[in-house]
Amino acid sequence: LDQARVKLQQIEDSIIHGVLARYALGGVTTLDAQQTDYYFGVIFDYGKNGGVQNYGLRDFETRRYLEQDNNLKNFTSDSYPGLQYQLPATVPQNAALDHPAPGQQIFPIGRQPNDPAQLIEYYNQKVLSATLPVDHNLDNMVTSYYNAALLKLSSNRILYGVELAKIKFLDQKQDYCQAVKRNDVDFVRILLKDHAQEEHVLQRVLNKVDAWTKTQQDGLAYPAHTRDIVLKLFQAYLLPITLQLEVQSVFSFEKYC
């Protein structure tokens, strides 16, 4: 599990750097959405047409595994695997997200009612379009390529939930098998969820954003609320979607009980 968390931290670093690098370009073009679809579908395709040689072996195996299991098919899509999962709103709109509040956990995990229901919508509506101005002087090939890379990293981070679930399942196989046989979804989620680890991840994310957005005099100024935007990316989307994939993955392991 420790090795898996190191891998997740590598993806985490790349996602944060990706958001900041995208913001460094300073704007969006009117063709960003269309071209992002193109780059994600062709350059970062999961191999529906090209086979394993077009992308990582682990991605290939994970995608094939997800498509073959009825419990997991809703995490795959032809366009953005894992990014179109419909998240319920589980955190009150007035919740404090990054500091302790009376009667609340620090860093409550989940989506608030005013947040977009899908991660792909959050990227389009909150991370990019609502944050960056239209700039007709930008090269839309560059902006779209950055967008697609960032989405692919987020997809990879979510789909890694299959690997996490397998590690946790094997570590407590008897407990998981008993819960699966009872069809006890809530108990499986309790076994999988480690809120102390989630708090650690989110505090680490904030520390990185704070450190990496410090600018010298006359240096690049990142958009307002960059810190909040990146925090919500992990807190409201990446962590809970990954956990949900872990839950459904455990039920797909019933054949090993």
Q: Given pLDDT bands bounded at 50, 70 and 90, which one contains residue 52? A: very low
213-251: pLDDT as tens digits: 987 556 677 888 899 999 999 999 999 999 999 998 999
94-107: pLDDT as tens digits: 888 876 555 566 78
3-42: pLDDT as tens digits: 989 999 999 999 999 999 999 998 988 888 888 887 777 6
Q: What is the pTM of this model?
A: 0.87
> Which of 153-157, 174-178, 195-199 holds the top average pLDDT?
174-178
Fold of 2-256: Chorismate Mutase, subunit A (1.10.590)
Q: Mean pLDDT of all residues in the chain?
A: 84
What average pLDDT does range 141-160 have in this prediction?
90
In angstroms, rounded to a whole number, what is the distance separating the alpha carbons of residues 20 and 124?
16
pLDDT given at position 255: 87
Tell me how far apart the 2 most distant CA atoms of the chain are, in Å.
61
In angstroms, rounded to a whole number, what is the distance separating the alpha carbons of residues 179 and 184?
5
Instruction: Tell the residue number behind the tokens 């407990």, with chain if given.
Output: 175
pLDDT given at position 116: 94
Greater confidence, 100 or 177? Answer: 177
- Domain positions in the chain are 2-256
